């Protein structure tokens, strides 16, 4: 397979665990780093991420990112279902966080080596034109479980968006892992890491850690909308979800942005999903309350309780 692009910050080859890996293609590129796929015959590919390039503290930040991921994964262990509200997800620390296999500093970048996942949640959403109630509810429960599981151990993941989560397992029950560690931190965090354009302007102004619960709820509400809506083929203001995030970033009233999306929702659902399906209605309602629509804002923990209670009630009615 020929490279799709040439790396600027990544090496052309990398020796790792006694094997030589060759660069194959770029998986992503930012202002201070690159992510590339590397292959070696007869073994699974690896991913190498060049991070914090040109930052004087690149080495320190790279080491901290690795240590934080390992500590969070170890602390979580097997998540207590009474805390995560996600017993069906079977969350474990090493399953919910993609921990680096190794890190090193080679000026001007910190480099991390990771196991390779074929898809992110963003890829899954784009590729999965037909979805089931079970799929999208299972994904939402995992997202809620990951957030609450980490929080119960003193860790937080703030950069909630589909491209930061990796997908594995069967299509019928896709499993999620945090893939980009930039948003992982502890309660002692100094600032919230979040991708611009996914929050309303009033939250972005003077953004600080005191708004962490609100930020997490709004970001998770936005992800719930993405689970429901038909695939987006790149940034497109006419697409309901892309238009929603554009509206939030424009400074418009949050309720007007949500209301505009709601008008489009019945005809914007992914194939296989209908508002007549109880679990889809519940997921849409969860998105709205997390987004704080018309003042009915709930924290992730509060919404998790409400969602799981609805699931349990439905199960009791239909044993």
Judged against a pLDDT cut of 60, whether residue 318 lies above it is answered with yes
- Per-residue pLDDT, 2: 41
Distance between CA 133 and CA 235 in Å, rounded? 26
Distance between CA 202 and CA 285 in Å, rounded? 22
pLDDT tens sequence across 270-288:
999 999 999 999 999 999 9
Name the band, by pLDDT with cuts 50, 70 and 90, for residue 295: confident
Contacts 24+ apart (CB under 8 A), 126-131: 126/231, 126/232, 126/233, 127/231, 128/171, 128/231, 128/270, 129/230, 129/231, 129/270, 129/271, 130/270, 130/271, 130/272, 131/227, 131/270, 131/271, 131/272, 131/273
Structure tokens belonging to residue 16: 């790792």
Judged against a pLDDT cut of 50, whether residue 93 lies above it is answered with yes
Judged against a pLDDT cut of 80, whether residue 94 lies above it is answered with no
Give me the residue label for tokens 């199960």.
315
Question: Could you say which of 3.30.565.10, 3.20.20.70, 3.30.460.80, 1.10.510.10 is the CATH number of the domain covering 119-317?
Answer: 1.10.510.10
Three-state secondary-structure class, residue 81: helix
Distance between CA 153 and CA 280 in Å, rounded? 31
Distance between CA 227 and CA 269 in Å, rounded? 9
Distance between CA 233 and CA 125 in Å, rounded? 10
For strands 102-106 and 109-115, give the pairing: antiparallel
Same fold, 13-86+97-115 and 119-317: no
- Per-residue pLDDT, 319: 54
φ, ψ at 219 (rounded to 5°): -65, -40
Distance between CA 46 and CA 21 in Å, rounded? 8
- Nearest in space to 175 (alpha carbons), one of 166, 188, 162: 166
Three-state secondary-structure class, residue 109: strand
For strands 34-39 and 155-157, give the pairing: unpaired
- For 77, residues 6+ apart whose C-beta sits below 8 A from its C-beta are 92, 93
The CATH number of the structural domain formed by 13-86+97-115 is 3.30.200.20
- Per-residue pLDDT, 271: 95
- Per-residue pLDDT, 88: 47
- For 105, residues 6+ apart whose C-beta sits below 8 A from its C-beta are 58, 59, 62, 63, 111
Name the band, by pLDDT with cuts 50, 70 and 90, for residue 91: low
Of the given ranges (72-76, 232-236, 262-266), which has the lowest mean pLDDT? 232-236
Judged against a pLDDT cut of 80, whether residue 52 lies above it is answered with yes
pLDDT tens sequence across 123-155:
999 999 999 999 999 999 999 989 998 988 899
- Nearest in space to 304 (alpha carbons), one of 157, 150, 146, 145: 145
Of the given ranges (12-16, 18-22, 89-93, 101-105), which has the lowest mean pLDDT? 89-93
Domain spans, the chain:
13-86+97-115, 119-317
pLDDT tens sequence across 216-240:
999 999 999 999 999 877 666 578 8
Check if the beta carbon of residue 121 is closer than 8 Å to that of residue 176.
yes
Distance between CA 136 and CA 224 in Å, rounded? 8
């Amino acid at each position: 397979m020929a490279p799709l692009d040439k790396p600027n910050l990544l090496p052309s080859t990398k020796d790792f665990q006694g094997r030589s890996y060759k660069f194959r293609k770029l998986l992503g590129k930012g202002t201070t780093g690159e992510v590339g796929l590397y292959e070696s015959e007869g073994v699974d590919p690896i991913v190498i991420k060049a991070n914090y390039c040109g930052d004087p503290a690149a080495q320190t930040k790279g080491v901290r990112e690795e240590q934080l991921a390992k500590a969070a994964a170890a602390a979580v262990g097997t998540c207590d279902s009474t805390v995560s509200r996600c017993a069906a997800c079977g969350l474990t620390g090493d399953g919910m966080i993609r921990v680096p296999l190794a890190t090193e500093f080679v000026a001007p970048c910190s480099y991390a080596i990771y196991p390779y996942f074929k898809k992110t949640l963003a890829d899954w959403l784009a590729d999965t034109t037909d979805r089931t109630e079970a799929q999208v509810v299972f994904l939402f429960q995992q997202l809620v479980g990951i957030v609450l599981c980490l929080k119960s151990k003193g860790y937080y993941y703030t950069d909630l968006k589909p491209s930061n989560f990796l997908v594995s397992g069967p299509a019928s029950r896709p499993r999620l892992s945090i893939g980009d560690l930039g948003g992982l931190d502890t309660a002692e965090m100094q600032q919230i890491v979040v991708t611009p354009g996914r929050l309303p302007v009033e939250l972005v102004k003077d953004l600080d850690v005191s708004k962490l619960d609100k930020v997490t709820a709004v970001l998770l509400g936005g992800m719930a909308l993405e689970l429901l809506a038909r695939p987006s083929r790149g940034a497109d203001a006419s697409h309901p979800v892309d238009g929603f995030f554009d509206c939030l970033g424009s400074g418009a009233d949050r309720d007007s942005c949500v209301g505009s999306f709601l008008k489009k929702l019945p005809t914007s659902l992914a194939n296989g999903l209908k508002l007549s399906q109880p679990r889809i209605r519940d997921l849409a309602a969860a998105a709205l309350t997390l987004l704080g629509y018309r003042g009915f804002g709930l924290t992730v923990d509060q919404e998790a309780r409400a969602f799981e209670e609805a699931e349990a009630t439905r199960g009791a009615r239909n044993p």
